[in-house]
Every structure is written in C-alpha cells, then in structure tokens.
Structure 1
Amino acid sequence: MTGSDSGRIGIVGAGITGAATAYFVSQDRSAADVVVFERNEDVGGRLQTATIGDRTFEIGGKYLHTDDPFCMGFVEEFDLNRADPLDVTGSDPPAMGRETTIGIWDGESFAVNLEDSLFSSVGHLLGSYPLSLYRLFQEGSALEEQLGELSEQIAAGESVRTVTELTEKWGMGDWCRRTAREQLTDAGIAEQCIEEVLAATTQTTLGQEPSIHAFGGLYGFLSMGASGGDPFAIEGGNATLVETLLDESAADVETETAVQTIERETDGYRIHHDDGTTAVDAAVLAAPYERTDLTFDGVDAPPERPYHTNHLSFVAGTLDTNYFGTESIPDLVAAADDPDVPFTLLASMGSVEGVPGTLYELETPTEPTKDLLSRLFTSYEVVASKSWQGFPRFDPGIDRPPFELADQLYYPNAIESLMTSMEFSALAGRNTATLISDANV
C-alpha cells in the first residue's frame, strides 16, 4: 500500500459494497475521514428481511457460504452468529442442511425428483446423464479454483481497474465471452443436463436461463451447494453484517440522504446531496448506477446495464396437486428453462404461526396473476410480496463498466456485471480500497 494515511473519502450507498469499502479503507488508512451517504432510512441495500408470523426470512441476499473467504472472515472476526435463512431470529443449522425433497419442473412433469439435496444424489443423476454431471462438477471445480486464487490475491493487495482485467488476469475471460450452454456443450455435457440441472440452478439463484455467460451459469451451480460449502444467514439478518462493517469503520453514515450529483473539482470531488454538498478527495459509487437518479459533472457516467426483474411472493395456502399431476410435490420446485413454466421457484417454508396452511415462497418473472395463483393453489392468501431488480442481465460480451471511472472516482459496483453476491461485493470493496491507497489519495 503506497497511499497516505488520511484524506476524505465519500461513499454513495450503504449496502454490502459500500460497507466493505468503508471498512477496508479504514483498515488501510487509520486517519481517513470516511462519509457514507444512504438514501434509505436503513443501511443494508438489498439485504432485507420479511417477518411473517413468528419467523423472519431473508428476502434479498439470502445466503452466505462457509467457503466464501471474505464473508466468512468477517463472520469470524466479528464473532457473528450463523442462522437459518428461513428464520434469522435465532441460531439454527442452515436451512439447506435439512432433508429436503427437490424437483425440477418442466411444465408437464418432474424431470428430476430427488429425496435429498440436488448434489447429494449424484448417482441418480448420473444414471440420467452419463458422465455429464461429472463433467459439470469438473467445470465448476475449475471455476472454484480460479475464484480461490482471485480472492487470495485481492486480499493480499492485488488490484484491477476493470472487470475485464479481472477476468483475463485470473483465467476467466472465456467464461464471460460465451454462454453457459456453449461452454458446457463444448465440455461434453449433455443438452438434457444443461436444460434441467443447470437451468434449474440458474433460475433458482439468478432468475435467468443458461444463455447467460458461462461464469454466471457455473457460479449459480456452485452457489446451490455444488462447491460443498454450507449456506447460512447471519442472526438478525444479513444486513447485520453491513451494520457491523460500518461500525468498525467508524464512518460517518448519513442515512435518508440521497445524492444528486458527483462533481469533479480541481483536486477531488464535490458530492451534492439532500443536506448540501461535501468535498472529498476521492468519491466511490457503491450503489448500482442504474438504480440511482445520480448525475455526473465533469466526468462520464458508467454504461448502464439492463437489470433482471424478479417478483417474490409469500403465499399461504394449499397446493393443487392436479396442477402437478402428483400427490408427491417436492419441498423445493425449481423450473427448467421452458417459457411455458410460469414461475422460477416454488418452495415450501413450512408452518408459520398465525398463517393458515403452509407458507410458500413463489418467485415469478412478473407479479403473479389471480389465474396463476388459482392454478397452483386450491386456496391461498398472498401475505407479503416484493419486486426486485436484484441482478443485472448476465449476458456474454456486454460493455462492462470499469472499477475506476476517472482519477479518484471509483465504481466497485461494476463487479455486478460479472456476478451479484455478498462475497463479490466484499471483494470489490477490498479492490477499491487498494486502488485508493495505490493512487496516494
């Protein structure tokens, strides 16, 4: 690290990316003056929960994984309790560690119907896809190895200025230029395996089909448990991690303070916001530019990315077995890549105090119609719902914004052109703090 030990750093956005950036800047520069602007009342960004009856569920960034080096490092350093994402009010084993039946619905029948987790029944799937699942795991393992090297070197002080530099430097460029279908077909993986197993994992984790870039497809596969890491949430909600990082950074956090303009000045930037203006030596846009009303004065704005919209509904009721043609409906139903399937995920959340019947999580591309709900359920009540633009479209070959928009102006959210996850956000925060130090701000 070559930077000075002080300077004023302004960060726009108090989600996991902004909080991680503030924390790492404070670790590198003990005398730095860090101010974080957040337009909402609470910090956390897309890390949000919903309380229904006697349980509190993660509804934004649901899972961390025990093999995520940055986030697990935070959990251990700050002694945070791990919890079940299906109820973050207490410390319990992770939800996906329970015995859960999993099915892949192709619109007519369950292409796969397993009595345990998708990745513990390898023998069953290999019977359907000779060698294909083995090869899929090989591809996933290769990506996992590259990600391990990436995390280790970024943590040690390596830095990159663009997403393309990152993917090329750590051998992931081809995975970002090609679709998951193309990459995996060339790896000898059967089309049926791609359209059923891979599609189900990308639909469930990202809400997108295997025409996304191969990096996204394989990362979705890993995040469903193929890497072997255990998924979990943080007791009290994953936004607790953001609160902790901001507390540890000693940053001045200005909530309910929207930023209108970042203006370039002779020596640094001026941030125009609801409460006036703030002069800073370096400015950091940690929020997705596309989801702000922010303008830039004196520098170019980053290219905009199309965002994927997903609708999340919590539905209390009784499933209609006639829709699925069987009495044995799995606990978690993931959709195959078929436009005739009107949902991406249907998962039983079990019994909840004060809620009639069983509570289900239903994820759909648009708000579910009464007709769809009547087809899926014999009786139902929508008890909570939310529309998300949680992920950019992970299309191959798109114009990806850089991490460094101009001298002393940084955009760690550019990482979302590659992947959206708490772990990648933390990595981008570490990278940004290194860029700031290396620039001698």
Structure 2
Amino acid sequence: TLPKLLESLGGAEFAGMTNQSIDEALQKAGISQKFINEMVIPVMRVNYGQTVNINAFVGAVSLTGSDSDLWAVEGGNKRVCSGLLYSAKAHVITGKVTSVGFKNRPQRNGKVSMFYEVNYETELGTDYSMYDVVVIAVPLRSGKPNITFQDFSLPGKNLLGQYQQTVSTLIHGRLNTSYFGYPDPRYFRSTTILTMEYADGFFLSVSASNPVELPTQMPTQARVWKVFSPEPLTKDQLGQLFTSYTTVHETKWSAYPRYSSRVAIPPIILHNHVYYLNAIEWAASAMEMSAISAKNIALLSFHRWYQRLDRINQDGLQQKLKSEL
C-alpha cells in the first residue's frame, strides 16, 4: 500500500506528512509566516498551482524544486519515456484504452484461467488484447471516466479525485520588463518570476524556457518564455506581459491532483492483478514519484503473482536497509 511504501522510505513520521499541511509543518519547525508567504507560497504556486494548504509531503517535494542543483533532460522529459520503452524492448500499441474487463475461461484440466481483456481504439479501428496483469498508468478522475472497468468492482473508497487545471503557455517574444518594475530592460536579469497570492493575479509564474546548453542572450532580445496560469491568457494579458511576440502555444491540462492538508490516498491494487500507478500522485506528483511507483508495482505484482507474500509490506524494512547500507 502507499502508506506502507512511504513508511518504508522514512518511517511513521514520513508517512504522517500526508496528514498535515505544509503551512502547519513549517510553522511547527519555526519558519516565520513572512517567509512562508514570500518564499514558500510562490514555490507551491509554480510547481502545483496551489498554496500552502497542500499536504506537507507534496509541499516538501515542491520545495526541492527550488534548489539550484537540478537536472534537465535535453530534448524534454518525453525522452525518458521513449528511452525506457527502447531499453525494455517493449511492444507498444499506439491507441487509446477504453475499457478493462475481467474474464475467466474453463480449462480441460478443470481449472479456470483468469485474465483481463483490454479494449482500445487505434487509427485502424477498435481492437483488444488479453493480459495476465494490467497496470493503469493514467489518472482516474472524478466525473471523467476515461477508462471503464467491466465484470469486476473497483474499490470505491478514495479512488476518484479532482485534478487541478494548469495552463502552460509558451510565448516567443520580448518580455515587458516595465510590468515588473524595470523600465530599462538592460537591467532586468531574472529568468524566473514567481508570484505571491493576490486577488488580481492572472498568472502563477513566468520563466525563460532555455535549452540545456544555455546560450548568452541579452534581456532585450526575443526569447521563449513559459507562463503558468490557472486559466488561458487573454490578448490583453499577453499585452501586459510582452511588448511584442510572434508565437503563442497554449496547453491546458489537468496537471496534478487538487491537494488538501489531509490526503485520501487511493489504493494501489484495484483488483486481483490490476494496479494503479497514479495512486502515488496523491502523496506527491512528479516524474520521480511515478518512477518509484512503477518499481513498487513491478515488485508487488511479481511477488503476488508467484505467491511470495512474505516479501510484501515487510516489517522493519527501513531499519534493515539502513543496516545493509
């Protein structure tokens, strides 16, 4: 389970971070309200589009993103996915999954074989494939059943949740530095602009979208900027942020869960051999968290398939790992 996974990583205190807000946790640690308002809230807004009422675990994950010692993937994070598929020599079916059904079939020896029928749509039409194990690696959102489940019941508690909309807009243009208090753009050196909570704010952050090998650019030159906002930017708002621009590319998406200070964590196991990778998003949403969830499910499904149940939820695992290290 996800609570057990978090506990194995950092003990009961680690798992307990999902049951208090980052605001509460930081105040208990002696962090001033002024620092929280001016430094922590802007980081929460750029990373999760939310404020310090999110749980302390996802808040801590968000704060790590403010460190200077971060890595970037040249060519974009999508190369991690394509690289993993290539390395695993996976057979990829390009299509949209519509349903997962539980099937059983009598065998000649009197036993019953059980499997899952995955139905999907491709450019050539509808099709299906049979699998022993299914991993759902897409958010199951409340009110938007992107995948239906047939002939078996899902654990209803805490499964479907609300997701937070974020609009990512890439603009190639010249930033209006006067809007940020710099009439002369030559003196504007910032590449990332974060925001506090205020009533009239229409954007969460503005940042330069740079390649891994950063070329030298003058502030007066046109470049690509990335704006995060809760709603699509209007022409008037774009005009406030930029003196001129040539290209605007907007992506509106449900980027991450809508967090609260008390997390209702969905189950990892949805049925006998159906697993939910995105359950971990409700502790914290990040590419690294998805990788942890993927490895956990790979081990969990392997041990359950071969009935090695003593290897699941091992007591004292954290201490055992510390001793080995």
TM-score under structure 2 normalisation? Answer: 0.77
Q: Does 1:231 find its partner at 2:91?
A: no
- Partners in 2 of 1:214 and 1:374 — Cα distance? 37
Residues 316-347 of structure 1 show CA distances to partners (whole Å, capped at 9, x for unaligned) of 33333442233444221111133332211112
What does residue 96 of structure 2 align with?
A: 258
Specify which of 49, 69, 84 is matched with residue 245 of structure 1: 84
Change in 2 beyond 3 A, CA 1:336/1:295: same
Change in 2 beyond 3 A, CA 1:384/1:164: same
Q: Spell out the pairing of 1:92-241 with structure 2 (5 A cutoff).
A: 162-169=1-8, 170=10, 171=12, 172-225=14-67, 229-233=69-73, 235-241=74-80
What does residue 343 of structure 1 align with?
A: 203
- In the TM superposition, residue 224 of structure 1 has moved relative to its aligned partner by 2.0
Higher relative contact order (CA 8 A, sep 6+): 1
User: Contact 2:55 / 2:263 at 8 angstroms: preserved in 1?
Assistant: no
User: Contact 1:264 / 1:299 at 8 angstroms: preserved in 2?
Assistant: no
User: Contact 2:263 / 2:283 at 8 angstroms: preserved in 1?
Assistant: no
What does residue 62 of structure 1 align with?
A: none
- In the TM superposition, residue 301 of structure 1 has moved relative to its aligned partner by 6.1
Q: Spell out the pairing of 1:34-433 with structure 2 (5 A cutoff).
A: 162-169=1-8, 170=10, 171=12, 172-225=14-67, 229-233=69-73, 235-255=74-94, 257-266=95-104, 267-274=114-121, 275-290=126-141, 293-297=146-150, 298-300=152-154, 303-327=159-183, 328-329=187-188, 330-349=190-209, 357-433=222-298
Change in 2 beyond 3 A, CA 1:349/1:288: closer
Q: Which amino acid aligns with 1:183?
A: A
- Partners in 2 of 1:438 and 1:416 — Cα distance? 23
- Partners in 1 of 2:24 and 2:120 — Cα distance? 46
Residues 135-168 of structure 1 show CA distances to partners (whole Å, capped at 9, x for unaligned) of xxxxxxxxxxxxxxxxxxxxxxxxxxx2223234
- In the TM superposition, residue 365 of structure 1 has moved relative to its aligned partner by 0.9
- Partners in 2 of 1:268 and 1:417 — Cα distance? 28
Change in 2 beyond 3 A, CA 1:342/1:236: closer
- Partners in 1 of 2:177 and 2:70 — Cα distance? 32
User: Contact 1:196 / 1:337 at 8 angstroms: preserved in 2?
Assistant: no
Change in 2 beyond 3 A, CA 1:321/1:246: closer
- Partners in 1 of 2:90 and 2:173 — Cα distance? 45
Counting aligned pairs with the same residue, the percent is: 26
- Partners in 1 of 2:18 and 2:268 — Cα distance? 17
- In the TM superposition, residue 378 of structure 1 has moved relative to its aligned partner by 2.8
Change in 2 beyond 3 A, CA 1:265/1:385: same
- In the TM superposition, residue 348 of structure 1 has moved relative to its aligned partner by 3.1
RMSD: 2.3
- Partners in 2 of 1:192 and 1:264 — Cα distance? 54
- Partners in 2 of 1:357 and 1:239 — Cα distance? 26
User: Contact 2:21 / 2:262 at 8 angstroms: preserved in 1?
Assistant: no
- Partners in 2 of 1:321 and 1:440 — Cα distance? 59
What does residue 36 of structure 1 align with?
A: none
Match of 2:58, SS?
A: helix
Superposed structure 1 runs of 4+ greater than 6 Å apart: none
- In the TM superposition, residue 292 of structure 1 has moved relative to its aligned partner by 5.9
Change in 2 beyond 3 A, CA 1:214/1:339: farther
Q: Which amino acid aligns with 1:276?
A: D
- Partners in 2 of 1:201 and 1:273 — Cα distance? 39
- Partners in 2 of 1:406 and 1:359 — Cα distance? 46
What does residue 152 of structure 1 align with?
A: none
Residues 95-129 of structure 1 show CA distances to partners (whole Å, capped at 9, x for unaligned) of xxxxxxxxxxxxxxxxxxxxxxxxxxxxxxxxxxx
User: Contact 1:405 / 1:411 at 8 angstroms: preserved in 2?
Assistant: yes
What does residue 108 of structure 2 align with?
A: none
User: Contact 1:332 / 1:345 at 8 angstroms: preserved in 2?
Assistant: yes
Match of 1:218, SS?
A: helix
Q: Which has the larger radius of gyration?
A: 2
Match of 2:72, SS?
A: strand
Structure 2: unaligned runs, 5 residues or longer: 105-113, 211-215, 307-325
